[in-house]
Amino acid sequence: MIIPEKIYIYRLTHIENLDYILTKNKIICPNHPDAEKDYINIGDKSLIENRKEKVINLEPGGTFSDYVAFYFGARSPMLYEIQKGYNGVEKRDPEELIYLVSDFTTIKLLNIQYIFTDGHAYNHLSQFFNEEKDLKEIDWKAVNLVKWNDTEEVL
Contact 118, 138 (CB under 8 A): yes
Condensed to tens digits (0 to 9), the pLDDT of residues 57-97 reads 999 999 989 999 999 988 878 888 898 888 888 999 999 99
Condensed to tens digits (0 to 9), the pLDDT of residues 96-147 reads 999 999 999 999 999 999 999 998 888 889 999 999 999 999 999 988 887 7
Q: How far is CA 61 from CA 28, 58, 104, 115, in A?
A: 17, 5, 20, 9
Q: How far apart are CA 51 and CA 69, in angstroms?
A: 11
Q: How far apart are CA 96 and CA 83, in angstroms?
A: 10
Q: How far apart are CA 150 and CA 70, in angstroms?
A: 23
Helix (H, G, I), strand (E, B) or coil at 14: strand
Domain locations in the chain? 8-143
Which residue from 112, 86, 82, 107 is spatially nearest to 97, judged by alpha carbons?
82
